[in-house]
Amino acid sequence: MKEREIFLSVVIPCFDEMANLQKGVLDKVVGFLDKKKFSYEVLISDDGSKDGSLAFVERFIRANPNVSLLKNTHMGKAGAVTAGMRKARGKFVLFTDMDQATPIEEIDKLLPFLVEKKADIAIGSRTYKHMGYPFSRLALHEGMILVRKMIVGMGNIHDTQCGFKMFSHEACHTLFTKMYELHHGFSHINGSAVTAGFDVELLLLAQLAGYTVKEVPVRWSYVETRRVNPVKDSVDAVLYLFNIRMNKGNGKYAIV
């Protein structure tokens, strides 16, 4: 039997997400997509959860056939996203966060750019005004944008870090296969890891490969997370940026 064609794949990384799952985020995602006239799949890419998230998602899947679960060892958000994006079958592929800080409805703003072939990749761009973003975090965020532009460049993109990015199938397969190879399939880690440099590297790779990237303003609300350590994560991000600069200079981002 021929496998049915999927118009949109939605990839959601998951690491100990019971708090968000119990809020009904998957019901909201599926409820919204069910109203669309196109075919879709939701792929939960689990990152070795230990808090009951796996059992919760498995129960949800039994009642929602368009949702599937990909079980991974714990390798960090970047690894989970990459695994899910490489598995996705859709003509267009979105990755979004489980907390839905950018709500699923915002796909309506990104999708037209890809459908009308005005871009190969559409990325959400956040506005911080009136969204509850603490001033200290905002200052740190803007500072990191300046540092990123100084070290890596990409001055034509303001917000590289919004966890709401959509790709054509071809761009998705090419870029995430390359990211998988660059990171040697990603390694098992201990503890939580949110790697800020991953998005920068991904978008730089996209630009160097000649893909058109469109930055699209989206709704976004600040969601506090215990997984972010502003000082440590910022230091790690700067080191990652220097590594990206070195890789670029060494020609490691060439796609053949």
Instruction: Please give the structure tokens belonging to residue 37.
Output: 């006239």
Task: Provide the 10 A C-beta neighbour count for residue 109.
Answer: 17
Could you report the per-residue pLDDT of 97-121, keeping only the tens digit for each? 999 999 999 999 999 999 999 999 9
Parallel, antiparallel or unpaired: strands 92-96 and 164-168: antiparallel
pLDDT per residue rounded down to tens, the chain (256 residues): 456 799 999 999 999 999 999 999 999 999 999 999 999 999 999 999 999 999 999 999 999 999 999 999 999 999 999 999 999 999 999 999 999 999 999 999 999 999 999 999 999 998 755 456 666 666 677 777 788 888 888 888 989 989 999 999 999 999 999 999 999 888 766 555 556 789 999 999 999 999 999 999 999 887 766 555 666 777 888 888 999 999 999 999 998 7
pLDDT for residue 1: 40
57 by DSSP, 3-state: which? helix
Domains of the chain: residue spans and CATH:
8-134+158-191+211-225 (3.90.550.10)
pLDDT of residue 154: 84
Residues in CB range of 41: below 8 A, 6 or more apart: 6, 8, 9, 10, 66, 67, 68, 88, 89, 90
Cβ neighbours for 113, distance < 8 A, ≥ 6 positions apart: 119, 122, 214, 216
Bridge partners (DSSP) listed for residue 95:
11, 165
- What sign has the CA pseudo-torsion 170, 210, 235, 101? negative
Q: How far is CA 1 from the centre of its chain?
A: 32
